[in-house]
Amino acid sequence: MTPAAIEIAKNNFSIFGDLVDEAIITIDKLNDTNVIIYIDNFGNIKTNILASQNSFNINSVVDICINNRKFKCKFLNTFSEVGSGELICYVGSNQTLEIAVNLGSAKDVLSAVVGESISIELAKVD
């Protein structure tokens, strides 16, 4: 284990320098709850929802539920497959579901905050 990992395991976050308390979260039972685990500087949302737990096909329409609001978007491979300002759900590099807005911020569109519960499900056909 690296020295940094050892300090984090001991709950010593001083190695990160001057961080505000809101910048560090801990989520109990991370595998039992679908949550937003990270939002990058572009506003892209990373979840802990494993892609392998879902049977979405490319071009499937999915419902994203967050903050008691529901959003529809397509499950696709790349940002360029949607228009500017449109939501997209995709599989991130760590094989979890991620949400983005092409040339925009999913964080802003969804009013998302790290640690919040989120669900992403295949949209029901009306």
Question: Does 86 map to a domain?
Answer: yes
DSSP string for 18-84? S--GGG----TTGGGS-BEEEE-TT--EEEEEEGGG--PPTTEEEEEEETTEEEEEEE-S-GGGS-T
Q: Is the full-model pTM beyond 0.85? A: no
Query: Domain total for the chain?
Result: 1
Residues β-bridged to residue 99: 45, 89
Question: Does 15 map to a domain?
Answer: no
> What would the pLDDT profile of 11-32 be if each residue is shown by its tens digit?
877 776 665 555 555 555 455 6
Question: Does 105 map to a domain?
Answer: yes
Task: Give residue 90's pLDDT.
Answer: 95
| pLDDT band of 1, cuts 50, 70, 90 | low
Question: Does 36 map to a domain?
Answer: yes
Question: Does 41 map to a domain?
Answer: yes
CATH number at residue 105: 2.40.30.90
Question: Does 47 map to a domain?
Answer: yes
- Single-letter amino acid, residue 17: G
Structural domain boundaries enclosing 90:
27-122
> What would the pLDDT profile of 27-47 be if each residue is shown by its tens digit?
554 556 889 989 999 999 999
| pLDDT band of 106, cuts 50, 70, 90 | very high
Question: Does 68 map to a domain?
Answer: yes
For the stretch 77-83, contacts whose Cβ atoms lie closer than 8 Å and that sit 24 or more positions apart, written own/partner, are 79/103
CA distance 5 to 15: 10
Nearest to 100 by CA among 43, 34, 38: 43
